[in-house]
């Protein structure tokens, strides 16, 4: 392996120069790579020497672009049986976020500074911090797949994750992830009004959502075989994706048992007598017995119930009659899941038993207690620290 300066004259008579690294790759093929400065050439030569010796080096000519590697990566995820919703998300990350900024770059040319710059470009061009983070995770998965194919030697995204500001990032994430009662989480009074406004076939599913905290996909895919009236529990072991396909829950930890309140149990017993029948045996099917569409559940069931309950706010627009147009204060089924968490945490206020954080985590199907505490830890009751310390001090000297 040698580093030397090359000088040449262009057809227009302009003299140019560059530093070239002349070496043989792991297959013994001769390679030549040029750089503007000797420092860059020396750095590459040192790295390439180690990679060739360890059998991990991939030359530019043997690599491919991010767009090309992305197609291979998505195809591998499809063969692995990933849900279509997940595949769609990967394709969206590749087409809308990676392709415009780094799609034509060779994998071997990606560096940690370039990935950091890519992240900043995403944020500067209107992507949210959460979206930027998800895209980087996808890029890391793409590079890992490319490594296994011998298209790149290094996963620079992993190097990025292992470095800068990890503690600051976690602190910001915790602060941003804190949900507020009355803004993100419905208040008990609002939920009482909501429950009173439920009607028709939407009442069983929305009431169950309030008192179990199940995800919308889990409710839409819930079979009657998972409802145990004798033990008063609901077993979560499958869900329905946005395409109506039945599959396993979001993760292994999402498979769980949730106790039914008396109101949920009685409501489901009554509903079972008139529930539309279908081959899937679903608890909350559409009128034909198939999987209920998530959008229809929200637009036809959830949102009208909030409006009937008076839990609404003006959109700033007027109707043809000049009346303010209202929208629900809370959007999406997840607001009911948030309420369930706050209700589990603070039931002691209403004379119930306060649930420990670990039990709350298990009820929600979170993968770790850290996730639960990052999002909901601030909702747990806190005693008067001064009084507790005074009592402990007195007990010590008693």
What would the mean pLDDT of 161-168 be, rounded to a whole number? Answer: 46
pLDDT of residue 24: 76
pLDDT of residue 63: 67
Per-residue model confidence as pLDDT tens digits over 208-217: 999 999 999 9
The alpha-helical segments, DSSP class H, found in 227-384 are: 262-274, 294-296, 303-308, 334-345, 357-364, 369-376
Q: How does the average pLDDT of the chain come out, rounded?
A: 85
Instruction: State percent of the chain over pLDDT 70.
Output: 85
pLDDT of residue 60: 59
CB 245 within 8 A of CB 83: yes
* C-alpha distances in Å from residue 239, one per residue of 22, 41, 151: 56, 54, 36
Q: Delimit the CATH 1.10.443.10 region(s) of the chain.
A: 188-356+367-377
Q: What is the pTM of this model?
A: 0.65
Token readout for 40 is 């860059």
Q: Which is more confident, 100 or 180?
A: 100
What would the mean pLDDT of 250-272 be, rounded to a whole number? Answer: 93
**Which of 54-63, 100-109, 316-325, 351-360 bottoms out in mean pLDDT, i.e. has the lowest?**
54-63
Q: Which is more confident, 378 or 353?
A: 378
CB 241 within 8 A of CB 269: no
User: Which residue shows structure tokens 């429950």?
Assistant: 195
pLDDT of residue 302: 97
What would the mean pLDDT of 352-360 be, rounded to a whole number? Answer: 76
In angstroms, the CA 213 to CA 37 distance is 60
**What would you measure as the largest C-alpha separation in the chain, in angstroms?**
97
In angstroms, the CA 31 to CA 29 distance is 6
Residues 6 or more apart whose CB falls under 8 angstroms from that of 353 comprise: 347
Q: Three-state DSSP class for 380?
A: coil
Secondary element (H or E) of residue 57: none
Buried b (16+ CB within 10 A) or exposed e, 97-112: bbeebbeeebbbebeb
Is the CA virtual torsion 333, 338, 340, 341 positive or negative? positive
Per-residue model confidence as pLDDT tens digits over 236-259: 999 998 889 899 887 888 999 999
Q: Which is more confident, 336 or 165?
A: 336
φ, ψ dihedrals at 258, nearest 5°: -120, 125
pLDDT of residue 103: 94
Residues 6 or more apart whose CB falls under 8 angstroms from that of 85 comprise: 241, 242, 243
What would the mean pLDDT of 4-27 be, rounded to a whole number? Answer: 80
Q: Delimit the CATH 1.10.150.130 region(s) of the chain.
A: 66-164
Per-residue model confidence as pLDDT tens digits over 53-82: 655 555 655 568 999 999 999 999 998 888
Residue 163, pLDDT > 80, answer no
Taking the domain 188-356+367-377, which CATH number applies? 1.10.443.10
Residue 168, pLDDT > 60, answer no
Q: Three-state DSSP class for 357?
A: helix
| CATH architecture for segment(s) 66-164 | Orthogonal Bundle (1.10)
Residue 190 — very low, low, confident or very high, per pLDDT cuts 50/70/90? Answer: very high
Residue 152 — very low, low, confident or very high, per pLDDT cuts 50/70/90? Answer: confident
DSSP 94: I
Residue 33, pLDDT > 80, answer no
CB 151 within 8 A of CB 109: no
pLDDT of residue 234: 97
pLDDT of residue 55: 58
pLDDT of residue 350: 47
Q: Which is more confident, 348 or 306?
A: 306
pLDDT of residue 164: 46
């Amino acid at each position: 392996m040698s580093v030397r300066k090359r000088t040449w004259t262009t057809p227009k008579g302009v003299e140019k120069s560059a530093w070239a690294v002349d070496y043989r790759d792991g297959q013994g093929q001769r390679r030549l790579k040029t750089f503007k400065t000797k420092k860059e050439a020396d750095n590459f030569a040192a790295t390439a020497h180690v990679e060739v010796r360890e059998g991990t080096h991939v030359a530019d000519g043997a690599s491919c672009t991010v767009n090309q590697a992305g197609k291979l990566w998505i195809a591998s995820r499809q063969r692995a049986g990933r849900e279509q919703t997940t595949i769609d998300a990967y394709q969206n990350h590749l087409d809308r976020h990676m392709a415009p900024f780094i799609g034509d770059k060779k994998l071997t040319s990606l560096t940690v500074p370039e990935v950091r710059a890519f992240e900043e470009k995403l944020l500067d061009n209107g992507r949210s911090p959460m979206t930027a983070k998800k895209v980087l995770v996808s890029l890391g998965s793409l590079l890992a797949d490319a490594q296994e194919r011998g298209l790149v030697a290094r996963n620079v995204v992993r190097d990025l994750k292992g470095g800068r500001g990890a503690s600051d990032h976690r602190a910001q994430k915790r602060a941003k992830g804190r949900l507020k009662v009355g803004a993100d989480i419905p208040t008990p009074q609002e939920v009482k009004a909501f429950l009173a406004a439920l009607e028709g076939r939407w009442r069983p599913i929305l009431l169950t959502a309030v008192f179990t905290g199940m995800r919308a996909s889990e409710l839409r895919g819930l079979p009657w075989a998972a409802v145990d009236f004798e033990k008063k529990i609901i077993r979560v072991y499958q869900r329905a994706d946005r395409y109506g396909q039945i599959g396993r829950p979001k993760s292994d930890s999402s498979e769980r048992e949730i106790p039914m309140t008396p109101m949920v149990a009685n409501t489901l017993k009554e509903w079972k007598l008139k529930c539309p029948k279908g081959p899937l045996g679903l608890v909350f099917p559409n009128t034909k017995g198939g999987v209920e569409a998530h959008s229809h559940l929200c637009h036809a069931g959830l949102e009208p119930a909030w409006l009937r309950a008076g839990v609404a706010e003006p959109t700033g627009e007027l109707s043809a009659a000049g009346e303010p147009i209202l929208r629900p204060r809370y959007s999406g089924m997840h607001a009911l899941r948030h309420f369930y968490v706050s209700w589990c945490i603070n039931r002691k206020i209403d004379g119930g038993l306060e649930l420990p954080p670990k039990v709350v985590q298990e009820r929600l199907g979170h993968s770790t207690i850290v996730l639960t505490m990052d999002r909901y830890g601030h909702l747990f009751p806190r005693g008067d620290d001064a009084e507790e310390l005074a009592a402990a001090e007195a007990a010590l000297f008693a």
